[in-house]
Structure 1
Amino acid sequence: MEPLVTLVAVSVVAFVVCLVRGTPAAPLRTAVRTGLAAMFLLTGFVHFAFLRADLVAMVPPWLPAPGLLVTLTGLAEWAGAIGLLVPRLRLLAAGGLTLLLAVMFPANVHVALTGENLPWWDELPWRTAMQAIFLAAAVTVLVGEVRRRSAKGESSGDLEVVRGNAG
C-alpha cells in the first residue's frame, strides 16, 4: 500500500508545484514521472532493509537464488528511479521499469495466492489493481517520452528501438 500512497502523494505534490511555478510544459507527465521515481526509490530501499525477508519469501519457488533476485531487482528499481530524473536516461528508465513491473508480477500473484493472513491490500484483486496502476504510470512516462522526443525531432538509438525502426 505504501508504494501506491507514495506514487499518488508525490505525483499530486509535483503537479501542484508544476502548476504554481508554471513549468514544465507537461505538468501531468512530470508529476507522474516524479511520483514513479519516488515510489521506486522507496521500493528499492525496502529490498535491502525492513522488508527484505518478506520480499525474499515472495519469490516463487521455481526461481533460483531468491536473495540475489531481490538484490538485483532492488538495484534495478533504484537505477530506474534515478534514470527517470535524468532527461537522457528517461526513455531507457521508463522502458526498463515497465519491463521490470511485468516480470515481477508473478511474484505478486504467488504471494497473494500462497500467503496467509494477508491484509486486504495484499489479496490478489487489490494487488493486481495496484500493479496495473504502477504499470500504467510507467507506460505513461514511456509513451510521453517517446512523444516528446518525436516532437523535438530527437534521434537516438533507444527511440528507434522503441518505434521499431532499428536496423
Structure 2
Amino acid sequence: MAPLIVLIVVTAVARLAGPIRDGWLDSWPHAVRIGLAAMFALTASAHFFPPRRAALIAMVPTALPAAPALVTANGILEIAGAVGLLIAPVAPASAIFLALLMVAMFPANVRAAGADLGIKSMPLPLRTLVQVLFIGACVVAVF
C-alpha cells in the first residue's frame, strides 16, 4: 500500500507545484513521472534491505536460477527506470520499460499469493487492481 500512497501524494504535490517551476510540472504526465520515480525508488529499496529482500527472494519462482541475483537485478532496473523518468528525453522509454517490467514481474505476485509466501501487503485481487493503476500511470507518463 505504501507505493500507492507515495505515487498519489508525490504526484499531487508535484502537480500542485506545477506553476512554480516554469510550468514544466503544470501537466499530469510530468507530475506522474515524478510520482512514479518516487514510487520506484521506494520499491527498489526493498530489493536490497531486510526484511523485504528475503520476502522478495521467496517470491521468485523456483524454476528460475539465482533468486537473490534476480532480485538484485530487478532492484537495479527499478532504480534505472526511476532515474530515467526524471530525464526528459528518455522518460517515455523509461515509462514503457517500467510498465513492461511490472507485467513481467506480476507472475511472482500471483505465485506468492497462491503459495502464501513473500510480501503479503494485500490480497491478489486488490494487488492486481493496484498493478493496473501503476501500469496506467506509466502509460500517462509516456506522453
Q: Is residue 72 of structure 2 the alignment partner of residue 71 of structure 1?
A: yes
Aligned equivalent of 2:4: 4
The amino acid that maps onto 1:65 is: A
Q: Is 2:20 the partner of 1:45?
A: no
- Equivalent residue runs for 1:83-122 within 5 Å: 83-115=84-116, 121-122=121-122
Kept in 2, the 8 Å contact 1:112–1:122? The answer is no
In the TM superposition, residue 7 of structure 1 has moved relative to its aligned partner by 0.6
Gaps spanning 5+ residues in structure 2: where? none
Q: Which residue identity lines up with residue 79 of structure 2 in the other structure?
A: W
Identity among equivalent positions (%) equals 43
Q: Which structure has the larger Rg?
A: 1
CA contact (8 A) 2:41 2:79 kept: yes
CA RMSD, aligned part only? 1.8
For normalisation by structure 1, the TM-score amounts to 0.78
| Deviation per residue, 1:63-95 (Å, 9 max, x gap) | 221111100100000000000001122122112
Q: Is the 8 A contact 2:15 2:26 kept in 1?
A: no
Of the two structures, which has the highest relative contact order with CA contacts closer than 8 Å and spacing of 6 or more?
2
Q: TM-score with structure 2 length normalisation?
A: 0.90
The superposition leaves residues 32-89 of structure 1 with CA deviations (integer Å, 9 ceiling, x where unpaired) of 1110000001111110013100110111222221111100100000000000001122
